[in-house]
Amino acid sequence: METDTELYNLEAEKEVLQALYLNPELFYQVEIKGNDFYKAEHRRLFETMLRIYADGIEIDLVSIRNYDPSCNILWVQGLFFEAITSANINYHTKILREKSFQRACLMTVKELHTKVTDSNFLSLTQEKILNLSEFGTHKELTTEEIFSGINNDIAKAKTNISAIQTCFEKLNETCVGLYPGHLWMIGGYTAYGKSTLLSQLIADICDNETKALVFSVEDSKRDKYLRLMATLSGIPIRYIVRGFINEFEQKKLTEAQRKILGYDLHIYDDVYTLEDMNLKIKKHLLKGGVDVIAIDYVQNLALKGDIYEKMSTAARELQRMAKRHNVCILVLSQITGGKLREKEIIGLKGAGELSEVADIVLWIDRKEMDNRRFDLIIRKNRPFGVTGKISMAFNETWTNILELL
């Protein structure tokens, strides 16, 4: 078993501080935080130096004293006097991160030991382990790294589009596809076809081996699978549940079930908070990855405050989740009644904040409920600029949606 002295390296901590003093620009390069330093004085000095650098001021004894009047300035002077080179900062930073991770593991084990009799022990354990698995995975990319990623995407796109393609060619052409890190919103009045559109998108991308998660905070998991069966078989749900199917249709349902069983698709109908959704996402990322996440529908999320406060929280968290996990998130939202306010992108129920942060906003516009034709209006297309409308129609059984020429 490791002793306490094996859980930190004070010399490495000093080397990192000295390197940052010699070359403050390295703050952009290193992946460390104040908590990665074991010694309190080292942690305090690092955080002081970081504040000074962020304010655009030169790091020296005067600025350190001004930012932290109670620091031991003689100790700082002696530390910096020993500074020789910053060349090995990556090596010393790696040591700091390893030791910090080991301490985090030890603290997690100690905390779980005290909770072993709690009724939520298993879920708490899962949460703690998933948090540990994320340790140090988030990195602020440099400009060079961002350009490198863009160039790699360009190279890949010449032979294989990096965005996930839908079954709608015009939508792909306008919005490129379901792009990693993007947040999509699909709005429409109740019974206008949002769930049918989502079901068709999920079936299509899963046919192309996309890994998808669906969080249904309205319909049951059974209902979602029934809708998928209807999408794939062309048989209306009302016929399926009442048994109004012949032998040929039964074969189509069996084939639909076979396809669904082969999908890398997971549907949850018992997850109502963004925190729990984030845990599920982390779990699936560890087990093999996630490409697309769908939430149906956003107003039913269990959040604090009135509808506008809830949507403000959801907007921030969903945007963060999409970017942090590098997944495309599809969010279904109800549309309010009445006329849209001036300059309003889309009349989403309490979701003005959501429409502001979303990358793509789609609106299902149906003039008559008994008319199969409708317009899918692209109200917002922040990444690629093109807006407009796409003419669409339900098929004869109202189970699929087709693009019209």
Q: Structural domain of residue 346, as residue ranges?
A: 164-403
> Are the C-beta atoms of 241 and 226 separated by less than 8 Å?
yes
Which among 85, 113, 133 is the end of a domain? 133
User: Do 248 and 319 belong to one domain?
Assistant: yes
User: Do 371 and 245 belong to one domain?
Assistant: yes
Q: What is the pLDDT of residues 297-323, one digit of tens each?
A: 888 888 877 777 777 788 888 988 998
Residue-level length of the chain: 405
User: Do 297 and 373 belong to one domain?
Assistant: yes
User: Do 23 and 122 belong to one domain?
Assistant: yes
Average pLDDT, the chain: 86
- For residue 293, pLDDT over 80 is answered with yes
> Is 158 a domain residue?
no
- Domain of 43: which CATH number? 1.10.860.10
> Is 153 a domain residue?
no
pLDDT band at 11 (very low <50, low <70, confident <90, very high): very high
The reported pLDDT for the residue numbered 343 is: 41
Give mean pLDDT, residues 178-195: 90
User: Do 120 and 174 belong to one domain?
Assistant: no
> Is 284 a domain residue?
yes
Entry pTM: 0.67
Q: What is the pLDDT of residues 331-350, one digit of tens each?
A: 998 765 444 444 444 445 55
> Is 159 a domain residue?
no
